[in-house]
Structure 1
Amino acid sequence: MIPKESRNQIALDKFLAARPDLKAEISVLSEREQQQQVQWAFEDEAQEQGIEAWELALELIAETPEELKVMRLEVHHEVAEALGMEWDEYRMLNELED
């Protein structure tokens, strides 16, 4: 499984690799501006799909449906912990299976 700290960048790289038109369009920009444009396009794509950007990132990097499920649950566990909620309460509120 891909380390958490690398997931977003790998997802953005895969996203851009699948969009040669976007890559060509932003090639004249500075590296910082290119990264910003890719991030915005990525977020727009997630919104068009009706999901959060972190979910799109996981979908792009997961190698199997099982890995995707594990990574999603991992993120949800982190959110529950950050909110100070018990896992069972969080899971029920978000209609998640364990």
Structure 2
Amino acid sequence: MTVKELSQEARHEQALKMYAQDTPELLDEIKDLSPDEQQDQIQWAFEDEAEAQGLQVWELTLKYTTTPEEFEAERLKLHKEAAEVLGVEWEEYCEMNGLIV
């Protein structure tokens, strides 16, 4: 199964695993916590990382689970879908969300 075929939830779980592997200092800090508490800490750190990068959590998930080329294409596709769902013109949506296309 390719990453594109994963559900959003499965993709997010994969991104969390990859993020945890990329942050061994975090894993060292939380090693004495229960598995559930470790998962919570990884999730919160992931959310903080997304914010630090100026991304939504779903965008950081996408960043971890796609190539750089796929990331931009998928990111724009999902933002366009969000604009449609919200009933907002694409240009206005881009302006509201600081998107440069």
TM-score range, shorter chain: 0.7 to 0.9
The whole-number CA distance in structure 2 between the counterparts of 1:34 and 1:84 is: 39
Q: 2:83 aligns with which of 77, 80, 85?
A: 80
The whole-number CA distance in structure 1 between the counterparts of 2:39 and 2:77 is: 26
User: Identical aligned pairs, as a percentage?
Assistant: 42
Q: 1:66 aligns with which of 69, 77, 81?
A: 69
What SS is found at the alignment partner of 2:48? helix
The whole-number CA distance in structure 2 between the counterparts of 1:81 and 1:30 is: 42
After superposition, the CA RMSD in angstroms is 2.0
Structure 1: state its 5+ residue gaps. none
The whole-number CA distance in structure 2 between the counterparts of 1:73 and 1:4 is: 18
Q: Tell me the CA shift for residue 57 of structure 1.
A: 1.6
Q: Could you tell me which residue of structure 2 aligns to residue 51 of structure 1?
A: 55
Q: Tell me the CA shift for residue 8 of structure 1.
A: 0.8
| CA deviation string 1:4-35 (max 9, x = no partner) | 33211111111100111211221221222111
Q: Could you tell me which residue of structure 2 aligns to residue 35 of structure 1?
A: 39
Structure 2: state its 5+ residue gaps. none
Q: Tell me the CA shift for residue 96 of structure 1.
A: 5.9
> What's the TM-score once normalised by structure 2's chain length?
0.75
